[in-house]
Amino acid sequence: MTNFSVSTTERIDAVTGGTRLRRLRQADWSRRLVRETQLSTADLIWPIFVREGSGEKQPVASMPGVDRLTVEGCVEAAKRARDLAIPVIALFPYTDPGLRDETGSEALNPDNLVCRATRAMKAAVPEVGILCDVALDPYTSHGHDGVMRGERILNDESVELLCRQAVVQAEAGCDIIGPSDMMDGRVACIRHALDAAGCRDAMIMAYSAKYASAFYGPFRDAVGSGGMLKGDKRTYQMDYGNTDEALREAAQDLAEGADMIMVKPGLPYLDILARLAAEFGVPTFAYQTSGEYSMIMAAAENGWMDGEKAMVETLSAYKRAGASGILTYFSPMVAEMLRG
C-alpha cells in the first residue's frame, strides 16, 4: 500500500540518496566548472572556396554567409584565421567549366587555383596550416571523384592521378593532404608518392568514413560539380547503413600511413565518430558538411531557431563524441564568439 505519510521530499531523498544532479547546474560558474568537454578555437578547421578572377563578391546561393573567394580573398581569409587563432584553412576550388574534362587533368596543373592560392597564403601567412582535398570532382566534367569508364569509377587508375594531385599540392606548400575520394589503397600510394617527392612532412588526414550523403548538396553547388554529376557516388562512398565497415576503413587508412582520420558528414554520424575515436585513439576529426551548415542557417534566417546557439551546440556535440577537431564553415563566427 502506498504510504501517503511520506513527503515528496522524503521520497526523492530515498531514491536519490541525497544526490541531486541539479545542484551543480545552479549557476553559470558551476556549470562551467564541471563541464566535461570544451569547444576551443584550436579545434577549428575552416573550409573556404577559391575561384578565378577578381572583384565582386560571389556568394554561394545555397550557403548563406559563404562566398567563393579570389586568391587575394583567400590571403585575407588566412590573415583572419591567424588573427582569430584558427589553426587550419581547408581549400576547395571552383574550377572554370572550360577547364573540366573527363580525367580532371586540371587537378595536376601546378598552377591551378588551389596551388596558386596555397602558395599565396603560405607566403603571406605561413603560420596558418593549409589542408587541400585530394579528389577529382572539382575538375571532372562528370563530377565524380575518380576517372570513369562507362558507368564505372576506376579505382587504381584514379589512385595514380590522386597521387600526382597530392604531390602537386604538397609542392605548392599544402601542409595537410586530405584524400576525400574513397578509392581503395589511396592513402598508402599517396604516402609513398609524397615521400618519393621529398614531401615527408606533408600530413595525411584521411576522409576514412565518408558516407554517400545528401548533406553534400550545397558544397557541390559551391564547387560547381552538382549539376554535372552523373548518377551518384555510392560505388565508392560508404553506405549509411554500415558501422563496422567504418572501423575497417579507418584501420586500413591508419595502417596505410594516415596521420589523422575523419568522419563525414558529422551530425548524423556521431555514433561513427564516437566509435572511431574510442577504438583507435588517434586524432579523429568530424566534417560539419555544407548541408548541416545550410540547415542551421536556413532555420535561423527564418527565425525558427537561434542559429548561434545551434552552431555552438552542434560543435560541442562533436567534441563530446570524441572529435579532436571539426571542419566547419562556422569557424570564423565561432572563433569571434569564443574570443568575445
| Minimum CB distance to ligand PBG smaller for 186 or for 220 | 220
User: Residue 329, Cβ neighbours under 10 Å: how many?
Assistant: 27
Minimum distance from CB of 216 to ligand PBG (Å)?
4
Exactly one of 122, 233, 264, 319 is catalytic; which is it? 264
Distance CA 71, CA 49 (A): 10
| Minimum CB distance to ligand PBG smaller for 121 or for 222 | 222
Minimum distance from CB of 117 to ligand PBG (Å)?
16
Q: Which residues pair with 49 in a beta bridge?
A: 68, 92
Exactly one of 122, 210, 233, 319 is catalytic; which is it? 210
| Minimum CB distance to ligand PBG smaller for 112 or for 290 | 290
> What residue type is assigned to position 251 of the chain?
A
> What residue type is assigned to position 10 of the chain?
E
Question: SS3 letters for 139-200?
Answer: CECCCCCCCEECCEECHHHHHHHHHHHHHHHHHCCCCEEEECCCCCCHHHHHHHHHHHCCCC
| Minimum CB distance to ligand PBG smaller for 124 or for 229 | 229
- Residues across the chain: 340
Query: Do residues 209 and 249 make contact, with C-beta atoms less than 8 angstroms apart?
Result: yes
Minimum distance from CB of 82 to ligand PBG (Å)?
23
Minimum distance from CB of 46 to ligand PBG (Å)?
12
Binding residues for Mg(2+): 249
Distance CA 53, CA 60 (A): 16
Half-sphere CA count of 116, side-chain side, radius 13 A = 16
- The pairing of strands 88-93 and 58-59 is unpaired
Q: Which residues pair with 261 in a beta bridge?
A: 206, 284
Binding residues: 249
Minimum distance from CB of 68 to ligand PBG (Å)?
14
Backbone φ and ψ of 134, nearest 5°: -110, 110
264 is catalytic: yes
- The cell 548541416 sits on which residue? 292
**Binding site residues, ligand PBG, CB under 6 A:** 133, 135, 137, 145, 180, 216, 219-220, 233, 289-290
| Minimum CB distance to ligand PBG smaller for 200 or for 230 | 230
Please identify every residue annotated as catalytic. 210, 264
